[in-house]
Amino acid sequence: MYTDQRENGFADRMQSSIGVKLIIIGLLIGVLMIPVSMIKGVIEERDQRWHSAVEEISSKWGGEQVISGPVLSIPYRYYEGAGKNRQTHTAYAHFLPDYLNIDGEISPEIRYRGIYQAILYNTQASFKARFGRPAFDRLGIASKDVDWNGAFVSLGIPDLRGVRENIVVDWNGKTLSMNPGLNSNDVIATGVSTPVSVNPDKGQYSLAFKLNINGSGRLALLPVGKTTNVKLSSKWASPSFDGAFLPESREISDNGFKASWKVLHLNRSYPQYWRGNTYKLDDSAFGVKLFSPLDHYQKADRATKYAMLFILLTFAVFFVTEIMSRRRLHPIQYLLVGFALCLFYVMFPSLFEQFNFGLAYVMAGGAVVLLTAIYSGWIIGRSASLTIGCLLAALYGFLYILLQLEDYALLTGSLLLFAVLGTVMYVTRKVNWYAVSLEDEPLPVEAPVQIATEEV
């Protein structure tokens, strides 16, 4: 009997110990990170499924397009060995235009695959270029070794499925048609080409053509001209300019964007002419990505990074409320509240797949706030329910702002932590932590009855 009472007393002291309760709360937060990590995996899986749907749609329309060229290539002969062992080989010299002007209009379009969507586009662009006389002498190649009749102009197009109309080239006033395939892959891996007439005695060659091509996500170009001028416009209001060069000027509004680039040959790492596969051009690509403001899986993934902070702050409020009201809460009750907070990160992505982002956030956050507030009212009291409900509503509102911010998310989050810490310090400023315990308020005890006795 004595042993049972001693064990019960020790258990009561352990339950009422603030230190022990804090350790238990810390362990519960660690346990709740397990479902949070599992939810993070679900979000990543849904994101991958979305990308798979986008790739499936793009495969039938046209993928990212990186337009390379035009490039003038001319075969020449070179020799190895001497006498009877002398061997003749054929290689290609490549020449870039003196200037290149590109003017394009990007028409975006959204296609759906189930609940997923892909951003597609059609681009109609006009190309104008001028080539100078091929400088074989500067490459150390004799004119007699040049196969002038084998010259061709090539244009790099990574996904030929996107080409919507025949590409008709005006070469010095002569009309030519581009055909799939390349005689040489030194510079361009995939694309179209056409034979052209090159006269070694002629100084300049003009080139013009129009390109009608489909693509998805991103359109990029290469500055192959000694001076390259590019103008792109679109009705898409959320462009993301990327690549080796940013536009010199740009205008972005709700009606779309206009951007222009000017790139000199001095700005890139390859010259105007060379032999063989000495240089690759892809690193100099620049262009625009049709950024999707509807890519919410990234925001949902960012939201899970704040899960521990939300659980910690909510548990801290429950703990302080427990201290101030002297109402002892069981770890299971903390755990149930933590599960309710974790449920938000499941509901949110499942709702924005069906509704718009803002409405989905309000629905998921409102449900969790209401559930937690009602439950806290049951286990603590109505006043605590109102306080906790307002706190959670403020936290979810603040998280919504953080998800909209890219550059200032860290600064805003640190200011939030500072404000929360200051509030906790203020609320608990008069608490005597050495004297406080988690024991319930003692019940009133009647005064002992005095029994009169006769003196003996």
pLDDT(9) > 60: no
Long-range CB contacts (within 8 A, 24+) of 299-305: 299/357, 299/403, 300/43, 300/345, 300/348, 300/349, 300/352, 301/40, 301/43, 301/44, 301/47, 302/402, 302/403, 302/409, 303/345, 303/348, 303/399, 303/403, 304/36, 304/39, 304/40, 304/43, 304/345
Question: Bigger pLDDT: 256 or 399?
Answer: 256
- pLDDT tens readout for residues 10-50: 445 545 567 777 788 888 888 888 888 787 777 777 777 77
pLDDT, averaged across the chain? 80
Question: Bigger pLDDT: 210 or 64?
Answer: 210
At residue 88, the pLDDT reads: 84
Question: Bigger pLDDT: 252 or 83?
Answer: 252
Global confidence as pTM:
0.65
- Beta carbons within 8 Å of 325's beta carbon, 6+ residues apart: 380, 381, 384
| Per-range mean pLDDT, top range of 54-68, 191-205, 321-335, 391-405 | 191-205
Is residue 39 within 8 A of residue 98, CB to CB? The reply is no
d(Cα 64, Cα 57) in Å, to the nearest integer?
Answer: 12
pLDDT(445) > 80: no
Which of 348, 355, 360 has the alpha carbon at shortest distance from 46?
348
Distances (CA, A) of 268 to 122, 131, 229, 376, 454: 28, 18, 14, 64, 116
Question: Bigger pLDDT: 122 or 357?
Answer: 122
At residue 3, the pLDDT reads: 46
- Sequential DSSP letters for 47-101: HHHHHHHHHHHHHHH---EEEEEEEEEEEEEEEES-GGG-EEEEEEEEE--SEEE
Question: What percent of the chain clears pLDDT 70, i.e. is strictly above it?
Answer: 85
At residue 293, the pLDDT reads: 53
d(Cα 200, Cα 209) in Å, to the nearest integer?
Answer: 24
Minimum mean pLDDT among 24-38, 67-81, 121-135: which range?
24-38
**Structural domain boundaries of the chain?**
12-48+297-427, 64-290
d(Cα 212, Cα 259) in Å, to the nearest integer?
Answer: 19
At residue 212, the pLDDT reads: 94
- Sequential DSSP letters for 358-391: HHHHHHHHHHHHHHHHHHHHHHT-HHHHHHHHHH
Is residue 260 within 8 A of residue 231, CB to CB? The reply is yes
- pLDDT tens readout for residues 412-423: 767 777 877 787
Question: What percent of the chain clears pLDDT 90, i.e. is strictly above it?
Answer: 25
Give me the mean pLDDT over the 238-267 stretch: 90
- pLDDT tens readout for residues 364-377: 888 888 888 888 88
pLDDT(100) > 50: yes
What does the block give as tokens for 287? 């262009």
Q: How large is the angle between the packed helices 307-325 and 357-379, nearest 10 degrees?
A: 30
Give me the mean pLDDT over the 319-338 stretch: 79
At residue 438, the pLDDT reads: 54
Widest Cα–Cα separation across the chain: 149
Top-level CATH class of 64-290?
A: mainly beta
d(Cα 380, Cα 77) in Å, to the nearest integer?
Answer: 91
